């Protein structure tokens, strides 16, 4: 149970994020969001008489029989989207060697994307997960709804500190009946990524925002230090003055990141890397511009 002081501190952070996200969306983000995301299907509009070049599969045979002439179904693009933010709140997400923790970066990105979606008339939902799904908020519209989601991201305290992407994917596949845009915010420090992400991507348009810290890429020369796994609690002494160790660490972590990127590519999942340095907006800009170019080809 959170104390009154903790609740007030979280609410202050939520209000600061709201002001920042609204400004970013207003100044430079909403147009890119609009061009990057489109409706997920077609709504029936009306019937009209068949014209040369129309697709035969759209002929409505019942109307054709009544009118004694071929008629086709007309459709209009379904504009409204359901955007679901799947946010990792496991132990490793609370880490940050820079000004921000990974969780704060997740909350900031969720706020920017959420307000962009609302401005575009889309619904936004949330799945919080760690070693298991923790909270599912169905997609809805409205500022109060989004602010509640941001508050939940910042306040969540899972009992288990591990990361289970597979159970989060299964939960989304079984729980989302309507085709949606699913945006994962995680460091993807999890086993069993390939098959679960592939299964999710086949059913829903899936985007990955991978949150990283600079120390996860490269160790500094800081002498002998204790490294603690935030999800298992395992501790180990490491001599960071050893240049061979630092190089081996850099090579290993790079290989791990590249392996995850290959999984994203395999399943046509667009992704961007966010950093605890705080350059969230630039990374999101690049991602949405890339998606916009793909859609206009």
From residue 267, give the alpha-carbon distance in Å to each of 33, 47, 127, 176, 204: 22, 37, 21, 19, 11
Tell me the pLDDT of the chain (297 aa) as tens digits.
Answer: 556 786 678 788 888 888 888 887 776 676 677 667 755 444 555 777 887 666 677 788 888 898 888 888 765 555 578 999 999 999 999 999 888 899 999 999 999 999 988 888 889 999 999 999 999 999 999 999 999 999 999 999 998 888 999 999 999 999 998 889 999 999 999 888 999 999 999 999 999 999 999 998 989 898 898 888 888 888 889 899 999 999 999 999 999 999 999 999 999 999 999 999 888 888 888 888 888 777 655
Q: Give the per-residue pLDDT at 273.
A: 96
Q: Give the per-residue pLDDT at 267.
A: 97
Which domains are delineated in the chain?
Answer: 4-37+80-295 (3.40.50.410), 42-77 (no CATH)
* Long-range contact pairs involving 283-292 (C-beta distance under 8 Å, separation at least 24): 283/209, 284/29, 284/109, 284/112, 284/113, 284/209, 285/28, 285/29, 285/32, 287/36, 287/207, 287/209, 288/29, 288/32, 288/33, 288/35, 288/36, 289/32, 289/36, 291/36, 291/37, 292/32, 292/35, 292/36
Q: Give the per-residue pLDDT at 204.
A: 94
């Amino acid at each position: 149970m959170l104390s009154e002081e903790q609740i007030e501190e979280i609410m202050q952070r939520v209000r600061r994020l709201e002001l920042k996200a609204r400004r970013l969306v207003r100044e430079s983000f909403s147009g890119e969001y609009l061009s990057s995301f489109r409706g997920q299907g077609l709504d029936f509009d009306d019937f009209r008489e068949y014209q040369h070049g129309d697709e035969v599969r759209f002929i409505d045979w019942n109307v054709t029989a009544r009118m004694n002439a071929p008629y086709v179904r007309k459709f209009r693009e379904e504009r409204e989207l359901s955007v679901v933010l799947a946010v990792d709140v496991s132990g490793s997400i609370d880490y940050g060697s820079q000004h921000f923790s990974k969780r704060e970066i997740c909350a900031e990105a969720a706020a920017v994307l959420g307000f962009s979606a609302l401005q575009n008339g889309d619904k936004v939902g949330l799945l919080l997960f760690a070693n298991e799904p923790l909270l599912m908020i169905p997609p809805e519209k409205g500022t109060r709804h989004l602010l509640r989601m941001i508050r939940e991201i910042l306040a969540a305290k899972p009992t288990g500190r591990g990361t289970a992407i597979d159970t989060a994917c299964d939960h989304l596949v079984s729980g989302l009946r309507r085709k949606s845009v699913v945006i994962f915010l995680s460091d993807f420090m999890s086993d069993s990524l390939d098959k679960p992400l592939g299964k999710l991507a086949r059913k829903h348009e899936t985007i990955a925002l991978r949150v990283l810290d600079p120390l996860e890429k490269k160790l500094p020369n800081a002498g002998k230090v204790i490294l603690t796994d935030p999800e298992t609690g395992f501790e180990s002494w490491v001599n960071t003055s050893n240049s061979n160790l630092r190089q081996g660490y850099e090579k290993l972590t790079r290989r791990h990141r590249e392996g995850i990127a290959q999984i994203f590519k395999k399943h046509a999942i667009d992704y961007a890397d966010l950093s605890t340095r705080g350059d969230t907006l630039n990374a999101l800009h690049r991602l949405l511009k890339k998606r916009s170019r793909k859609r206009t080809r």
